């Protein structure tokens, strides 16, 4: 059970332990924490339903793998799974003011090649007639606690919002704040046929390095474009198609799997691991589309001697050979995305030759969406 303390010392049982909140139903003001000085009432976002988690039995509220994984996967994978990449919350409110506060677990706000807004910040979108539109970023400036007024002075209207959590940091709590008398509501569910998530499994790129803010990783962009949930299982430096991860991913029930691990693998590992990984998923999910993704092209490989040969040619050939063998053996609904143009061809798609800029992520999202949209439409 989870308890919240109101001013005056009265303990109340949180709605987190009560009946599930229905879409459109306002949060009980008594389930929030009121700040008499500011007039803001704070609500735990878990009351609204956190998206992007494949498992409910987690060790901590914002983990990406189940608690049992701690004794199953390698320690680096477990540690990275405690970073909140891809987690988000959709909600409705007509409040003119939206605030947020969150507590980080990591020791670093930023990285040398990735801004604090992406590593540790929040990202707010609003639904418009044209689709999701960016609205505000929550900048992380201190450790461990941060608080921001995301928006102020909004015209009166009930709108649907989407808030992304940090990509390369973990959080122990995230709260949304609105003025006393304003309401927060759980967003409407995804429509039938759009409710199953796309599961992305991969590397630092999948996790979001080096997006300027959490909503700019390609997995999130694809989710907004296709208007369906996504699960981001990117593990920086550790997307290696290990059998333990195959077993965990097979427990999920997604609309599609996207396997994008080549940046962390060499040809010998590809030959050894990809086929059993795919067969494990296919044994449990006979019809679910599975997409294999080649490695992106290092952006200096056009000129630097040996880069293409060392980083790409052997790995791509190994993956293509496994793909062809799987298809020949009768594996259905298996698809392939070449890596050559994932970042574009002008060198502007990366921070360091390896990790995408927002432009590189958008270009990737375009290629992924073009592959996924017809597959998902066909599989409804």
Residue 317 in domain? yes
Q: Which two tokens stand for residue 81?
A: 């799974």
pLDDT tens profile 351-364: 999 999 999 999 99
The range of the structural domain enclosing residue 147 comes to 23-52+87-186
Does residue 26 or residue 311 have the better pLDDT?
26
Q: Looking at the predicted structure, is the pLDDT value of residue 299 above 90?
A: no
Q: Looking at the predicted structure, is the pLDDT value of residue 329 above 90?
A: yes
Closest CA to 40 of 29, 49, 28: 29
Q: Looking at the predicted structure, is the pLDDT value of residue 378 above 50?
A: yes
Would you place residue 312 in the very low, low, confident or very high pLDDT band (cuts 50, 70, 90)? confident
Both 28 and 94 in one domain: the answer is yes
Both 179 and 202 in one domain: the answer is no
CB burial of 119-134 (b: ≥16 within 10 Å; e: otherwise) equals: bbbbbbbbbeeeebee
What average pLDDT does the structure give for the chain? 93
Domain CATH for 332: 3.40.50.1110
Residue 308 in domain? yes
Give the separation between CA 143 and CA 133, rounded to whole angstroms.
29
Closest CA to 163 of 142, 193, 132, 191: 132
Q: Which of 10-14, 169-173, 288-292, 365-369 has the lowest mean pLDDT?
A: 10-14
Both 240 and 291 in one domain: the answer is yes
Both 171 and 266 in one domain: the answer is no
pLDDT tens profile 90-114: 999 999 999 999 999 999 999 999 9
Both 298 and 162 in one domain: the answer is no
| Residue for token pair 């995305």 | 337
Residue 18 in domain? no
Q: Which two tokens stand for residue 75?
A: 């320690």
SS3 of residue 306 by DSSP: coil
Domain count, the chain: 2
Both 127 and 242 in one domain: the answer is no
Predicted local confidence at residue 6, as pLDDT = 30
Q: Looking at the predicted structure, is the pLDDT value of residue 311 above 90?
A: no
Both 209 and 316 in one domain: the answer is yes
Sign of CA pseudo-dihedral 138, 143, 145, 147: negative
Both 164 and 41 in one domain: the answer is yes
Q: Looking at the predicted structure, is the pLDDT value of residue 12 above 60?
A: no
Would you place residue 305 in the very low, low, confident or very high pLDDT band (cuts 50, 70, 90)? confident
- The residue from 141, 161, 186 where one domain ends is 186
What integer is the mean pLDDT of 198-204?
98
Q: Which two tokens stand for residue 49?
A: 């339903």
Which H/E stretch holds residue 244? helix 243-250
Would you place residue 248 in the very low, low, confident or very high pLDDT band (cuts 50, 70, 90)? very high
Residue 3 in domain? no
Residue 311 φ then ψ, to 5°:
-95, -25
Q: Looking at the predicted structure, is the pLDDT value of residue 9 above 80?
A: no
Would you place residue 301 in the very low, low, confident or very high pLDDT band (cuts 50, 70, 90)? confident
Both 317 and 372 in one domain: the answer is yes
Predicted local confidence at residue 155, as pLDDT = 96
What integer is the mean pLDDT of 265-284?
98
Both 170 and 223 in one domain: the answer is no
Q: Which of 20-24, 54-58, 76-80, 125-129 has the lowest mean pLDDT?
A: 20-24
Q: Looking at the predicted structure, is the pLDDT value of residue 16 above 60?
A: no
Both 217 and 163 in one domain: the answer is no
């Amino acid at each position: 059970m989870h308890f919240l303390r109101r001013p005056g010392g009265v303990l109340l049982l949180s709605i987190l332990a009560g009946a599930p909140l229905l879409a459109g139903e306002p949060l009980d003001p008594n389930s929030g924490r009121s700040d008499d000085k500011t007039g803001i009432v704070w609500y735990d976002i878990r009351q609204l339903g956190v998206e992007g988690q494949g498992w409910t039995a987690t060790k901590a509220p914002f983990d990406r793998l189940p608690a049992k994984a701690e004794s199953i996967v390698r320690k680096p994978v477990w540690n990275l799974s405690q970073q909140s990449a891809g987690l988000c919350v959709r909600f409705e409110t007509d409040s003119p003011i939206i605030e947020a506060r969150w507590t980080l677990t990591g020791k670093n706000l930023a990285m040398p090649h990735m801004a604090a807004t992406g590593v540790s910040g929040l990202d707010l979108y609003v639904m418009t007639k044209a689709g999701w539109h960016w609205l505000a970023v929550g900048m992380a400036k201190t450790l461990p606690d941060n608080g921001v007024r995301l928006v102020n002075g909004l015209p009166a209207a009930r709108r649907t919002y989407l808030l992304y959590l940090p990509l390369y940091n973990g959080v122990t709590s995230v709260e949304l704040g609105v003025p006393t008398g304003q309401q927060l509501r759980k967003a409407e569910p995804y429509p039938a046929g759009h409710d199953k998530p796309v599961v992305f499994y991969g590397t630092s790129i999948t996790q979001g390095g080096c997006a300027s803010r959490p909503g700019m990783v390609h997995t999130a962009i694809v989710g907004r474009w296709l208007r369906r949930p996504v699960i981001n299982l990117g593990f920086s430096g550790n997307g290696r198609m290990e059998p333990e991860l195959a077993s965990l991913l097979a427990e999920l029930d997604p609309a599609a799997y996207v396997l994008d691990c080549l940046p962390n693998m060499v040809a010998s590992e590809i030959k050894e691991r990809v086929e059993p990984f795919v067969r494990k998923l296919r044994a449990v999910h006979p019809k679910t589309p599975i997409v294999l993704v080649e490695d992106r092209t290092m952006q200096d490989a056009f000129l630097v001697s040996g880069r293409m040969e060392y980083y790409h040619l052997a790995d791509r050939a190994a993956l293509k050979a496994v793909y062809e063998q799987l298809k020949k053996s009768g594996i259905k609904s298996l698809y392939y995305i070449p890596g050559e143009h994932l970042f574009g061809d002008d060198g502007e798609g990366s921070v360091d030759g390896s990790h995408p800029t927002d432009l590189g992520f958008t270009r990737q999202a375009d290629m992924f969406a073009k592959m996924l949209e017809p597959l998902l439409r066909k599989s409804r």
